[in-house]
Each structure stands twice: as structure tokens, then as C-alpha cells.
Amino acid sequence: MIENRKEEHINIAETKNIAAEHNPWDDIRLIHRAVPEINFDEINTEVNFLGYKFNEPFIISSMTGGTDRAKKINENLAKAAEEFKIGMGVGSMRVAVENKNISDTFSVINNYNIPAKFANIGAPQLVNQSSKAITDNDIDYIFNLIDAKFLIIHFNFLQEMVQPEGDRNARGVLKRIKELSKSYPVIAKETGNGFSKEDALELKDAGVKAIDVGGLGGTSFAAIEYYRAKKINNYEKMHAGETFWDWGIPSPASIKYCNVGLPVIGSGGLRNGQDIAKSIILGAAMGAMARNFLKDADTSYEELKNHIINIIKDIKTTMFLTSSGNINELKKAKFIISEPLLSWLKECD
């Protein structure tokens, strides 16, 4: 059952080492301004994303749903999104289509005044060659279920290849996205492996409004599926999980690759507010975090709130030390890049 898989994902994400071997955000160093000539208390962290104002330059990225535990997590995340006036996505909503009895694990976020909510469905399910393919009516259902402002279509084909129950057909995805983009503001999101420039151009032609890079550096879903396969002694899938654990385009490089005239969300491996600032300096409109918030949201609202407060302080401190009074000024901050990220960025030239 999908619900059992969701619970497994939460357990593994909270208890296992599922990060990529190297975090590429460490390859970026910001140039310190010893004389910043700004007032820390006047720093403005607001961003405008496709017509919606967020008080902070990051969103709570798509994470979970489908179980009682996920409902509690989503409620805490939604409460935080309201308090800090930031956007929020939910996990894949296919489970809500297949079992409407658990729809409240997603719709619980409607109890909070969130600046913008992001519905979420997987690209593989758009072209699933079975009776379980997601229909236009299904999309309408999940979009309205949480009164969403955007429709995230997430690309997780590597995870599908490693999953015992994965969907392996990708033919027709762009055509379907082009059709959906006529009715919904679509955001294309990777889930840990990043988008290339060719991907970004094709997605732009298909009509998406923004790209969430979800690059290599943080959570590896190949790693998550490795641990799931290990639990049932599926050695074939364990092998695949190990082989592709570090597959993908580093998040900062993917931000550069996706500079094709659309807003970009920087995600994948962001650990703190300094990493969020780096993503913006590299060209993202804002950052996004998921697993970074998971354990705190599963523990208590106070833990989550304190975590977010620290992240915001990180962002403002980084802005202060780069003499950036607002997000537009932050985009002009100077930096240096080291290997191995430097070689990836040379592909942008």
C-alpha cells in the first residue's frame, strides 16, 4: 500500500544517512564584507514569487501526506507557513486520489492562512500505462483539495527505477504537461537529481511557470529505496540504490542550467540559511527545504518554530556580512567556487 510506503519514507528519512556523499553548497564561499555599511535590523528578506509575496526567501518544500503521522507533520508545517508567511507544498497526492478517506492528511493545511499552497503529483503517474494513471479530473481534485495556487509536477524517475513498485514509462510526459499548463500554473520539480539545461528548455516550451531544481546534494531517494529494499532482502534493488546513490546534477549547477527565463527555486541539500542565500546568489528566486524540517515537524511545533527562526537569522546574518540590505542586493554578492562544483559550472559557459 502507498500509505505504508509513506510511513517507511518518513522513518528512513528521520533515522538513516540518506544524504549524497558530497554537499556542493560547500564548494561556494561568499566574500566577506568587513564594513557592510547597513543596519541589520533594517534588512528586508521579502520576495515576490509569481505574484505572491513571502516574508522570507524560502518555502517549505513538498514532503509528505497519506498517514496519520504525516497529517500531524503537515499541520505543524502549515502552522509555521502561516506564522512566518511563507509558501508550502505537500507530498505526492496520488494517495489522496486512490484513497479519499485519507484526504484530510493533506487538506489539514487549509486550517491555516498560507500565502500560497502547492499541490503535488508525480510525472510518472501522468503517463502510467494502467488504470491508475492520473486523469484530468484527478488533477482538479487534488488542486482544489488544498485550494492550491500552483501545481507541482515532480520528476522522480531515478526513484521509480529503484523502487520495487516503480513506474518506468516517461514517454508522453512533456505532452501531458503542456496540456495541464493551459489550466494550471505548473512548477516542475526534481526530487534530488537536478535538471539539465536541455530539460529546462523543454519544460519552458511545455509551459511551466517555474522550475524547482531539486538537485544532487541532499536527500538521495536512491538511498531511501536502498533501505526499503534491504528490509525485504531485495538484493537487485539494493544494488541499484547503492549504484545510483550519488547520481545527478549538483543543485547549484542545476540552478545555473535552468537559467532559461523562468523563475528558479533552489533546492537539494540546503541545510541552513547561508545555503539559502547561496542559492539566491547563484540565480534562484528563493530556496526550498523539505527533509531539513521533517524531524522537528514530527516532534513538536515549538521545535520547528525555533529551527525556522534560526534559519531566518542565518539568512539575515549572511545578508549583513555581504552588505545586502534586501534580496535584490543579495543577488549581487560576490563569491568563489571550488572543485568539483567548478567543473559542473563550466558547462554553463
Q: State how far the Cα of 120 lies from the Cα of 106, in Å rounded to an integer.
A: 10
Please provide the DSSP assignment of 23-72 as one string: -GGGGEEEPP-SS--S-GGG----EEETTEEESSSEEE-----SSHHHHH
pTM recorded for the entire structure: 0.94
Q: How high is the pLDDT of residue 235?
A: 85
All three cell numbers of 225:
529505496
Burial 143-159 (b: 16+ CB within 10 A, else e): bebbebbbbbbbbbbbb
Place 5 in a pLDDT band, splitting at 50, 70 and 90: low
**Above 90 in pLDDT, residue 243?**
yes
pLDDT category, 130, cuts 50, 70, 90? low
The domain spans of the chain are 2-346
pLDDT tens sequence across 202-223: 999 999 999 999 999 988 888 8
Tell me the pLDDT tens digit for each residue of 78-117: 999 999 999 999 999 999 999 999 999 999 999 999 999 9
Give the CATH class of 2-346. alpha beta
**What is the 8-class DSSP label of residue 250?**
B
